[in-house]
């Protein structure tokens, strides 16, 4: 795939300046939510074209590298049919050098009778953003005087507004019974925490969903034990606004001291003073520890130091030492720690102050001084008595937390009144109406069955889940799709495949897009994908990323190996994570058990910092996984067409418990090119149940025996 054009330096600087001016300090609020892009991909016609390579359709295709241009005469026009009458609010014109000095924006409901919404005789070219009002189906740019000797030429002609004939949906409102809010004077806090934990401790595939929210202040003598589908968060703008003199605990007593199934829970935005000086957070996949301040140590192992297979820390400060102990792998990003002990196979750090030095393979530490691009997860907080969602700003080459040190966090605040508060029972049609109307989405704890795709097509839309809100497509649709737009934030929810096969469960951007989103990328954070386990589920591919520049920051994409509805064909899902977009960054990528490739990377200049994988346990025999002449499908495949790709700290394990004689050719597959580079790779056979013959391509020693000793490579090629 050839490199795609990048904006000019001037354009990049202008974008950076605009982004800087849009950063709002805490306590401020954003403007009214951005309207929906209505024109993209709609039928377009024009008075003339310069040639076959510059059709009218090129101005509404979302590609800033294609254009419409007219013949060299006045007047000329281009118009777009929106498909339905809409309330219009904005037109954006991206002129090529051949622009209009005098032109009108005209509106029509029937395509014949036109009214003027905007006119000028002093057009400047470049990018012109025009606020308009009116209701129309057809929108036309009518040029009456050219600014150059050439015709009229538009890279993009974008029309924004809202559609829908139903009543206007309200923003804000009650968060529902499963969002449990405490303040320091609330009686019986410990009893309520214990009640939920008793219900959720072993409810691995249950339907209960809970969110604990602690208002700013100090809470004494608490031990918040966190079970399945339970999230605990502070409501301050800083973690230090909400202090628990006590613990937030995850242990594995329910599973006989084995923490390898402590999934689907989270802790966020709290300060802890652990009772005995060390907090215990013994988790595995899909259990983020974000924006936390532990005023002591953190123990990542269960009581008794049983097995554990997690996990993820971001934007956190641990004053004392982090005791890794039995954790097979772990990723820590943009944090500050007092130290780190031990490491089993794969411990990865980026942008973490106090991280151990690079040491892979012995000790197994992969350490990057900074994280190339990061943007923290949006979170709910209280500004006085008003709920708002804080949306952190993008950071480049970040190191340490985004908060603390007496500086205000950078980002913007969105009042809850600009969110549609989604409650169980809401239909996909209503959810889509809310987005079209200009609202963000806040999913309250619950399980949501959808009969059509949730479409997130408005730039800057925030989709935030509380309490691991879960979306299930019932009839084989894709659960959620993001448009070819800037700045969408998806965070804090689970997508669970339904019994009818979906072609995909989450898609970021349309196939074939060429739009550059580097200035304001989409972020996907703590969004988890599951196929089977809670019942029969099927999907061809879990998550597809088409949009360029997307940041996927902590995901677990899992074809279930246990639970209900599990079997080689019962919960069939061939591919876990597929990247077609360029310049995509994955930080904290967990993908497991898919029938074929777990990860397929087709886009250019992709980067992954930390990858954890297990191949599917339940392959019935060697023939079932045969990939042409290759024994098995790689866990992580980079397409032969890719010229530039890089990964740090990647591991793949096999445990073929149905047929332990299965041989896996390699864990990783990539073209041998100067721009394709990997650092710190390993493969492991768990107890000799299947074996790898190589680490990557034909490179790396085979695994052997039953001693569960990894085969490692420090660099490739």
Cα angle vertex 343, ends 340, 344, to 5°?
165
Q: What is the dihedral of CA 635, 313, 521, 29, to 10 degrees?
A: 160
For residue 483 the two structure tokens come to 């448009």
Q: What are φ and ψ of residue 255, in 5° steps?
A: -120, 35
Alpha-carbon span 595 to 559, nearest angstrom: 9
Alpha-carbon span 357 to 185, nearest angstrom: 45
Alpha-carbon span 341 to 321, nearest angstrom: 7
Name the strand (E) or helix (H) holding 625: helix 622-625
Residue with tokens 């000790």: 363
Measured between alpha carbons, how far is residue 306 from residues 261, 309, 538 in Å?
12, 10, 32
Contact between 538 and 507 under an 8 Å Cβ cutoff? The reply is no
Alpha-carbon span 106 to 112, nearest angstrom: 11
Residue with tokens 């934007």: 315
Contacts of 689 (CB under 8 A, 6+ apart): 654, 655, 656, 657, 660
Alpha-carbon span 482 to 546, nearest angstrom: 10
Contacts of 47 (CB under 8 A, 6+ apart): 70, 75, 76, 77, 78
In 176-249, which residue ranges form alpha helices assigned H by DSSP?
Answer: 189-200
Alpha-carbon span 193 to 214, nearest angstrom: 12
For residue 173 the two structure tokens come to 């409102």
Show which residues are catalytic. Answer: 614
For residue 47 the two structure tokens come to 């008075």
Contact between 681 and 376 under an 8 Å Cβ cutoff? The reply is no
Contact between 656 and 624 under an 8 Å Cβ cutoff? The reply is no
Alpha-carbon span 694 to 700, nearest angstrom: 5
Alpha-carbon span 83 to 422, nearest angstrom: 28
């Amino acid at each position: 795939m050839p490199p795609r054009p990048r904006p000019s330096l001037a354009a990049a600087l202008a974008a950076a300046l605009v982004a800087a001016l849009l950063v709002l300090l805490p306590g401020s609020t954003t403007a009214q939510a951005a309207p929906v892009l209505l024109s993209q991909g709609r039928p377009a016609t024009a008075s003339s074209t310069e040639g076959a390579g510059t059709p009218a359709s090129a101005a509404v295709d979302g590609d800033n590298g294609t254009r419409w241009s007219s013949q060299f005469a006045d007047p000329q026009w281009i118009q777009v049919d929106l498909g339905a009458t809409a309330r219009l609010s904005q037109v954006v014109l991206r002129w090529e050098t051949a622009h209009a000095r005098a032109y009108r924006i005209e509106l029509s409901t029937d395509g014949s009778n036109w009214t003027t919404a905007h006119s000028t005789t002093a057009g400047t070219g470049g990018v012109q953003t025009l606020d308009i009002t009116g209701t129309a189906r057809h929108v036309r740019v009518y040029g009456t005087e050219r600014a150059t000797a050439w015709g009229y030429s538009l890279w993009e002609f974008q029309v924004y507004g809202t559609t829908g004939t139903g009543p206007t949906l309200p923003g804000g409102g009650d968060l529902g019974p499963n969002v449990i809010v405490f303040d320091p004077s609330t009686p019986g806090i410990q009893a309520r925490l214990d009640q939920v934990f008793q219900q959720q401790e072993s409810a691995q595939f249950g339907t209960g969903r809970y969110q604990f929210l602690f208002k700013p202040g100090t809470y004494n003598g608490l031990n918040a034990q966190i079970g399945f589908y339970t999230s605990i968060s502070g409501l301050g703008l800083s973690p230090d606004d909400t202090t628990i003199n006590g613990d937030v605990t995850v242990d594995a007593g329910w599973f006989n001291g084995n923490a390898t199934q402590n999934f689907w829970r989270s802790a966020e935005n709290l300060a802890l003073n652990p009772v005995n000086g060390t907090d215990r957070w013994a988790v595995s996949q899909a259990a983020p520890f974000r924006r936390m301040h532990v005023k002591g140590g953190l123990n990542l192992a269960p009581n008794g130091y049983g097995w554990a297979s997690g996990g993820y820390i971001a934007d956190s400060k641990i004053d004392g030492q982090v005791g890794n102990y039995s954790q097979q792998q772990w990723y820590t990003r943009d944090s500050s720690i007092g130290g780190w002990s031990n490491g089993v196979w794969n411990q990865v750090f980026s942008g973490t102050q106090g991280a151990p030095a690079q040491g892979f393979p012995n000790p197994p530490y992969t350490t990057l001084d900074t994280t190339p691009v990061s943007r923290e997860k949006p979170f709910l907080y209280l500004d006085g008595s008003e709920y708002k969602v804080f949306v952190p700003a993008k950071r480049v080459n970040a190191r340490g937390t985004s908060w603390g040190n007496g500086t205000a966090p950078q980002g913007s605040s969105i009042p809850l009144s600009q969110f549609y508060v989604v409650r169980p029972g809401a239909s996909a049609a209503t959810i889509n109406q809310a987005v079209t109307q200009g609202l963000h989405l806040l999913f309250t704890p619950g399980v949501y069955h959808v009969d059509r795709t949730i479409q997130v097509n408005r730039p800057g839309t925030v989709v935030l889940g509380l309490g691991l809100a879960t979306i299930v497509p019932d009839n084989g649709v894709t659960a959620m799709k993001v448009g070819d737009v800037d700045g969408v934030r998806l965070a804090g929810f689970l997508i669970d495949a339904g019994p009818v096969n979906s072609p995909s469960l989450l898609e970021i951007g349309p196939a074939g897009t060429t739009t550059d989103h580097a200035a304001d990328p989409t972020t996907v954070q703590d969004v988890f994908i599951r196929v089977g386990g809670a019942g029969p589920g099927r999907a061809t591919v879990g998550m597809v990323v088409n949009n360029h520049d997307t940041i996927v920051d902590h995901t677990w994409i899992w074809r279930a190996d246990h639970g209900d509805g599990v079997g080689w064909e019962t919960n069939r899902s061939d591919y876990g994570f597929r990247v077609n977009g360029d310049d995509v960054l994955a930080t904290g990528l967990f993908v497991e058990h898919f029938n074929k490739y777990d990860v397929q990377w087709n886009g250019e200049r992709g980067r992954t910092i930390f990858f954890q994988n297990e191949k599917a346990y339940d392959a019935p025999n060697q023939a079932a996984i045969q990939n042409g002449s290759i024994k098995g499908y790689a866990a992580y495949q980079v397409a032969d067409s890719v010229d530039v790709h890089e990964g740090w700290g990647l591991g793949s394990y096999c445990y073929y418990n149905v047929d332990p004689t299965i041989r896996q050719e390699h864990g990783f597959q990539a073209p041998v090119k100067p721009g394709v580079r990997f650092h710190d790779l390993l493969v492991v056979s768990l107890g000799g149940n299947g074996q790898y013959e190589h680490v990557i391509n034909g490179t790396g020693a085979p695994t052997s025996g039953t001693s569960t000793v990894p085969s490692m490579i420090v660099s490739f090629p």
